[in-house]
Chain A
């Protein structure tokens, strides 16, 4: 694998950028937006970032970092402790299992796979939350969040792409 030489050349402050970008998205997701329809529909942007870094720089966002970031999201959002940690790790694991195949394909293909990942992710949050509360919740809310995440995916890819360029520039 090509992880060895990469991680050596990327030492310094910038190796933390991918994890920091996920942290930033987590904080962004927690801010009070004061818009009534957004109340139920905030997208899973940190998940999109985990998916992105899982494809391009998996060694810079290790599973321990994903765990800590997921746990932080659980604590800040007041949800079940461990839910996001578990789901984000599973997203990362799925991407890495498929990783090299993703890299060779186009953006559209990666988006298409993301559609499925995002819908399954939404369903999983719905299922875990329903079990946690011990009452079946309204499933369309979670799917709405998934849809919005899918719509935001190109923006995330663009933003994190700029960040990745910085990493590549550093490497050279």
Chain B
């Protein structure tokens, strides 16, 4: 009798798991909300549990820094001298740029840093590339927002709880990020393929690209602000062009969630001014 009962309960849960597998993949809001609630509960636990790992990581980093402190100092002094010269040039260019943009009525994008978060969990699966962070809707984080750090792009928010969110990394199969070649400005798409090196899609025929070329975000799609560092061309083969990302996605610690919107001054918006009458009239 017990055997029968056991078989029945196993069968029941197998069917339940199969049903979830088949119908849960539609990413219904109910499933996402449930996921968010569970991650909300576990994020504080993961946060505490990941502290020792971070301490070890910090210690290793510290010993590495101590070991190279003299050579690093020499290199930084040289770099500093170069940067001072570059700073003078760039300030002149910035003034020029601003003046020309005003002439052309270019809409300026506004980047809002919504929150800074800590990565508390890594899926570490070969087939699904995402991380959990300890900020959610309570902190203003919304699905679709971009996640970056000081080195460049990381990914975008795909699910939120009130105090936790899941970030789909740029290397995931489902990640498509609008990018451009820094030198020529050609727009392309960075496509994740679950390998550490995502590939480039939609390179126009006849355009040239070389190993080492710099890749930046294009700002299309209104998720990532333009001109953020993405990475460099790693290799060009018949199968495709592979990109080495500027961020180390396996070694993430603190990240920023950013919102991006184009804001135009009222003068530079003739189209919307024409359409202003009807909504105002209704009000």
Contacts and interface: CB of A to CB of B under 8 A. Distances in A.
B252 interface: yes
A62 B124 CA distance: 27
Contact of B251 (A34, A42, A89): A34
A138 B173 CA distance: 12
Contacts of A133: 127, 173-174
B279 interface: no
Interface residues of B, number: 52
Given A32-B252, A36-B250, A67-B13, A79 B121 contact: no
Contact of B45 (A27, A71, A78, A126): A27
Interface string A37-72: 011111000000000000000000011101100111
Given A3-B2, A30-B121, A80 B24 contact: yes
Given A75-B38, A96-B6, A31 B21 contact: no
A135 interface: yes
B14 interface: yes
A80 B53 CA distance: 27
Contacts of A137: 126-127, 194
B108 interface: no
A77 interface: yes
A138 B46 contact: no
B18 interface: yes
Nearest to B118: A32
A40 B122 contact: no
Interface string B23-65: 0110000010011001100100110011001000100000000
B56 to A, nearest CB: 9
Contacts of B252: 32, 34
A72 B174 CA distance: 22
Most buried by B among A71, A128, A145: A71
Interface of B: 2, 6, 9-10, 13-14, 16-21, 24-25, 31, 34-35, 38-39, 42, 45-46, 49-50, 53, 57, 119-128, 130-132, 159, 166, 173-174, 194-196, 248-253
Closest 9 CB pairs of A and B: A141-B126, A82-B20, A82-B21, A86-B17, A81-B24, A129-B127, A32-B122, A85-B17, A78-B130
Given A72-B38, A89-B17, A132-B21, 8 more contacts: A3-B2, A30-B123, A32-B252, A42-B124, A63-B9, A67-B13, A67-B17, A133-B174
